[in-house]
A and B are shown apart, each in its own frame.
Chain A
Amino acid sequence: MTTKLFGERVQRREDARLITGQGRFLDDLGANALAAAFVRSPHAHARIRDVDVSAALDVEGLVAIYTWEDLPGLLAEPLPLLIPHPALTHGRTGHALARDIVRHVGEPVVMVVAADRYVAEDACSLIEVDYEILKPVVGVEEAAEAVNLVHADVPGNVGAHLVQEVPSPDGLSAREAIEAAPHTLAFRLDIERSASMPLEGKGVYARWDADDQSLRVYSSTQTSTSVRMAVAAKLGLPLPKVEVIAPDVGGGFGVKIVHPWPEEILVPWAARLLDREVKWTEDRREHFISSAHERAQVHHVRVGFDDDGRVLGLDVNILHDHGAYTPYGIIVPIITSTQLVGPYKIGAYRVEFSSIYTNTVQVTPYRGAGRPQGVFCMERTMDRIAAHLGRDRTEVRAANFIQPGEFPYDQGMTFQDGRPLIYDSGDYPESLRMLKELIGWDSFPAMKAEAAAEGRAIGIGVGCYVEGTGVGPYEGGHVQITSDGRVHVSTGLTSQGQGHETVFAQIAATELGVPIEKVSVVTGDTRRFGYAVGTFASRAAVMSGNAIALACRKVRDKALKVAADALEADPRDLEITDGVVHVAGTPSASIPLATVAVLSNPLRYAFDKETQRATQFAGPQDDDRPPVADGEEPGMEGKDYYSPVRSTFASGMHAAIVETDPLTAEIKILRYVVVHDCGKLINPMIVEGQIHGGVGQGVGGALYEKMVYDEHGQLLNASFMDFLMPYATEVPRIETAHLETPSPLNPLGVKGAGEAGVIPVSAVIAAAIEDAEGITIDRMPISPSDLYSLRAETRLRKIQ
């Protein structure tokens, strides 16, 4: 077939507009909209005694000021808790505008609407909020001590507590297995807070149509369908009267999956109330202090193992800091708990976490979503076992791997989607073999010795992970071929740079046998597709990719049936090539899909050439058959959904060589190698791009990024000047290799790839630094000054 595009490095179809300044991001819309701005709490924990807006009322250009007391009905109620869980016994969410108490710096208190953003901020600065300052709770361990409470009705600051236990095959609990093991180790591991930090912040723009009594909302979101349902519910509007569109979105990485953000319901509400277009564009400081963070966890690990390094028992206790509220439930610590075991067969496993409130920005998934922490635990554990036994680190890992013949492999736990944690496929020994070869694992000791002879310290590290991708419950695809031969594809989930317009077009072009130029793809527009879940959890290619493929197959079947009638052929003898249906082996017996599309609709006003042409194919009329028979529909279109029984599990292994400066403790990554298995590749160029970006963020998390809160709950580094994200100078060149273990769970055999790159980076870099320095690394990120201090402490210990 000339039109096979699946698996090819097809150039992105998004680029044309994005490289010419013709993209349409949120703030590019609504040129005449009023601007919203917010007065946000400057305190981490305080009671609002009074809001005095009088000074702001004289600002020319001011349109409206709203506080919590102005909010009607459901708008005044707490924001929804999206993902409840039986273990989340004390879930709490904030209000769209703070009611009585503020619980983190940045919580919205007052909304101002004005002629433009400058004036809106002028008015904000004149509004006086009188606060009674309460004792802030900062730091997860301090919070767990519960000297002060974040929520007066949440004892111990504990939102959730969950224990999962998987006994060994011979029935031992993890603790029993550890006690009985020949070797045991216990240690603590820490990961700091970071954040998604897309280059475009959030934003909402709403237009109320008073004549039509309908609302159109644009939001820089990862889920337009759910924002739509939230807006309709909160504003008491019929769902069909609300449409939500995700325009071009400047990165998401998790933070934009949370919904509804306060602004996503307040801005549409104000637009309707004022009957004016209203827009809010988040600025960078707002994004730091009022969106979401992730990663901060403290882990206490106990492990028992045999002489070969096989893990007989593993017991992990996690303290998870979820900030002031839990709108997204406890997904992050659940993912850490379940994905921690990675590609390994752990004898017996026990994991316990407490999810703790603090007076800081709420925590919701950021690319990787708890996995970087879990992988840090498991991989540091593997390295410690190897060090204890004096064995090669890759040997210890290999001794624990699930073998290719053991799939499907049941890890005996419940995954984030509430389904059993059963790995569908993988080949971990082969991944490791490829990785070792690529990085030159076996020749590294010689390289290290050579470097040492020159007075240089270099080290190598390795990290393995398994990532559950493509979580359900479903996504759908709609495909329509119009009488001009064009193929219109839509799916409800959104795009933030993943190249969906390209990969979904590749799938549709391949399935339908049409040139890709004929295919256009729309994502995240509820006018085109109303039911969807969203773009997160490395799920878009798996979920919507398969849904679109299934929808295309429906349309293809219909097209072949209609064409078969017209050509008086058997549908099974027909093929579609370059948009033309023809009898296999007889190219002259053919009919273009455009004509087939016309024939599929009994109403044939001759508006275009194809419609006129179609009349020559119209068969004789059957007077006893209705023009649209039972089970048929007019038009060449089809819709289908893909809903998997459970997630599909991608995997990968990374290795790095680092050099540490003996004097300055500067850490330089000399090489970074990735072996990645996401099943069948739809577009290798795009997959590699995803991996590069993930590793880039991983390097940020390993060496630079942390949210620094002081004891008052003030975020001290809420700017790009102080929160250090990597520039080109900080990210090494990434060498990639692909292994393709198809997923048996879905028609395309694909697995997700979006988060992969970021997951093991902290584990890998920590291992490499440890190898270079001979100093135990147990917390990340690590800066040169951290390493410098560690060296000093180690020297001191040796002297003592």
Chain B
Amino acid sequence: MSERTGEHRHAVTLTVNGVLREATVPARRLLSDCLRHDLGLTGTHVGCEHGVCGACTVLLDGEPVRSCLTFAVTVDGHEITTVEGLAEGGELSPVQRAFSECHGLQCGFCTPGFLCTVTAFLRDNRTPTDEEVLEAVSGNLCRCTGYQNIIKAVHRAAEIQAEESG
């Protein structure tokens, strides 16, 4: 993309889903666009581009961030996990399995953001209360599910996680 526009570009090196990736991007390239269009990882979705909907949430050094409010050049040298990196060794993560099992997604557009958010949440809090689960997903918009099955999925993921680590 940017090579055709004549803008001044910067080399960035990111570890995305455990793989070292390089891109040359203009300073204004959003991390969301860099992931999607420069690195071809289109699983991260863009719903508002002003940081409200949370669809673009990825893990930056393990913590959830809005990739639409992050410039790619500012995360040079950092580690990023996207929805494509949640399944380990081809096996779906407990969070992914729980979302499917509990019908926690319909159109699936907001889902990558929820999955990343919940993955970080359950890593830090393995036995969350109802209130904590609600709080954890309250920064992500979904227009399809009414959230009920998403909340159920978070609890179910915690359960699967506990079963598998126990």
A250, B109: Cβ atoms closer than 8 Å: yes
Please judge, given known A-B contacts A118-B26, A693-B146, whether A497 and B108 are in contact too, CB under 8 Å. yes
* Other-chain residue from A18, A116, A253, A283 in contact with B108 (beta carbon distance below 8 A): A18
Residues 237-264 of chain A: 1 if any B CB is under 8 Å from the residue's CB, otherwise 0?
Answer: 0000000000011110100000000000
Is there a chain A Cβ closer than 8 Å to B92's Cβ?
A: yes
**A17, A200, A685, A695 pick with most chain B CB within 10 angstroms:** A200
Whether B134 lies near A729 (C-beta < 8 A) is: yes
Contact B99 A15 (CB under 8 A): yes
Asked whether, in the complex, the Cβ of B106 is within 8 Å of the Cβ of A116, the reply is no
Report whether B40 and A727 are in contact in the complex, using a CB–CB cutoff of 8 Å. Answer: no
> Which of A198, A200, A731 lies in contact with B147, CB distance below 8 A?
A731
What 0/1 readout, one digit per residue, does chain B (32-43) give for beta carbons within 8 Å of chain A? 000011001111
Q: For the complex, give the distance between the alpha carbons of A25 and B36 in Å.
A: 12
Beta-carbon nearest neighbor of A201 in chain B: B47
B48 in contact with A497 (CB, 8 Å): no
Check A199 against B53 for contact (C-beta < 8 Å). yes
> Are B111 and A283 interface neighbours, CB within 8 A?
no
Q: Is the CB of B100 within 8 A of A733?
A: no
For residue A19, which residues in chain B have a CB less than 8 angstroms away from its CB? 83, 92, 96, 99-100, 105, 108, 111, 115
B132 at the interface (CB under 8 A from A): no
Q: A119's closest neighbor in chain B, by CB?
A: B5
Confirm or deny: A776 has a beta carbon within 8 angstroms of a beta carbon on chain B.
no
Contacts of B135 in A (CB 8 A): 729
Cβ proximity bits A183-214 to B, threshold 8 Å, 1 near / 0 not? 00000000000000111100000000000000
Within 8 A of B (CB), among A739-758: 757
A712-752 interface with B by 8 A CB criterion = 719-721, 725-729, 731, 733-734
Task: Work out how many contacts link A and B, with CB atoms closer than 8 A.
Answer: 188
> In the complex, what residues of B have CB within 8 A of residue A118's CB?
5, 26, 28-29
Residue of A nearest to B154 (CB): A728
Within 8 A of B (CB), among A2-60: 11-12, 14-25, 27-28, 31, 60
Q: Which residues of B contact A686 (CB under 8 A)?
A: 103
Rounded to whole angstroms, the CA-CA distance of A695 and B143 in the bound complex is: 11
Most buried by B among A27, A697, A720, A725: A720
CB <8 Å contact, B42 and A28: yes
Q: How many angstroms between the C-alpha atoms of A159 and B80 in the bound complex?
A: 54
**A20–B134 CB distance below 8 A:** no
* List of A residues within 8 angstroms of B149 by Cβ: 689, 692
Q: How far is the CA of A15 from the CA of B101 in the complex (A)?
A: 9
Q: Which residues of A contact B40 (CB under 8 A)?
A: 31
Known contacts A21-B44, A21-B84, A199-B143: A728-B106 contact under CB 8 Å: no
* Residue of B whose beta carbon sits closest to that of A690: B106
A-facing mask of B4-46, CB < 8 A → 1, else 0? 1111000000000000000000101100000011001111111
Determine how close the nearest CB of chain A comes to the CB of B90; give it in whole angstroms.
10
* Inter-chain contacts of B146 with A (CB < 8 A): 691-697, 731, 734, 757
Q: How far is the CB of A506 from chain B (nearest CB, A)?
A: 14
| B148 touching A720, Cβ below 8 Å | no
Q: How far is the CB of B88 from chain A (nearest CB, A)?
A: 12
Tell me the interface secondary structure of chain B in the complex. loop
Among the interface residues B50, B147, B151, which one has the most CB atoms of the partner chain A within 10 A? B147
Contact yes or no, B83 A15, CB < 8 A: no
**Is A523 an interface position by the 8 A CB rule?**
no
Partner of B109, one of A16, A200, A721, A731: A200
CA distance A25 to B46 in the complex (A): 11
> By the criterion CB–CB under 8 Å, are A200 and B103 in contact?
no
A21 touches B41 (CB 8 A): yes
> Which residues of A lie under 8 Å from residue B160 when comparing CB positions?
none
Known A-B contacts A19-B111, A199-B143; A115 and B4 likewise in contact (beta carbons under 8 Å): yes
Query: In the complex the two chains form, what is the Cα distance from A698 to B83 in whole Å?
Result: 30
B contact residues around A734 at 8 Å (CB): 146, 148
Contact size class for A? 35 or more
Contact A251 B109 (CB under 8 A): yes
CA distance A116 to B3 in the complex (A): 10
A770-800 CB contacts (< 8 Å) to partner B: none
Chain B residues whose CB sits within 8 angstroms of the CB of A719 once the complex forms: 48, 50, 52
Asked if A496 is at the interface of the complex by the 8 Å CB criterion, the answer is yes
Q: A20-B83, A725-B141, A733-B148 are in contact. Are A27 and B134 (CB under 8 A)?
A: no
- A15→B36 CA distance, assembly (Å): 20
Q: Is the CB of B43 within 8 A of A21?
A: yes
Alpha-carbon separation in the docked complex, A14 to B45 (Å): 17
**Which residue of chain B is the closest to A735 with respect to CB atoms?**
B148
- With contacts A20-B96, A21-B82, A694-B146 known, is A60 near B53, CB below 8 A? no
Q: Mark B121-154, 1 if CB is under 8 A from A, else 0.
A: 0000000000000110111111111111111000
Within the assembled complex, what's the spacing in Å between the Cα atoms of A251 and B106? 8
Closest-CB distance, A496 to chain B (whole angstroms): 5
Distance from A585 Cβ to chain B, minimum over Cβ atoms (Å) = 39
From known contacts A248-B108, A689-B149, infer whether A199 and B141 are also in contact, taking CB-CB under 8 Å: yes
User: Roughly how many angstroms separate A31 CA and B33 CA in the complex, as a whole number?
Assistant: 11
Chain A residues near B46 (CB-CB < 8 A): 27
- Does B111 lie within 8 Å of A18, measured CB to CB? yes
Return the contact of B47 from the options A115, A199, A498 (Cβ within 8 A): A199
Chain B residues at the A interface, C-beta cutoff of 8 Å: 1-2, 4-7, 26, 28-29, 36-37, 40-50, 52-53, 55, 82-84, 86-87, 92, 96, 99-101, 103, 105-112, 115, 134-135, 137-151
Contacts A21-B44, A720-B141 aside, 8 further interface pairs with beta carbons under 8 A come to A19-B108, A116-B4, A116-B5, A198-B109, A199-B143, A200-B47, A497-B105, A728-B147
Chain A to chain B: the 6 pairs with minimum beta-carbon distance, closest first: A21-B43, A250-B109, A497-B107, A18-B108, A696-B146, A692-B146
> A residues near B, CB below 8 A?
11-12, 14-25, 27-28, 31, 60-61, 114-116, 118-119, 197-200, 248-251, 253, 283-284, 496-499, 685-686, 688-689, 691-697, 719-721, 725-729, 731, 733-734, 757
Return 21 A-B CB contacts under 8 Å, by A number.
Answer: A12-B100, A12-B103, A15-B99, A15-B108, A19-B83, A19-B96, A21-B112, A22-B84, A23-B109, A27-B36, A118-B5, A284-B49, A693-B144, A720-B47, A726-B147, A727-B139, A727-B140, A727-B147, A728-B137, A728-B150, A734-B148
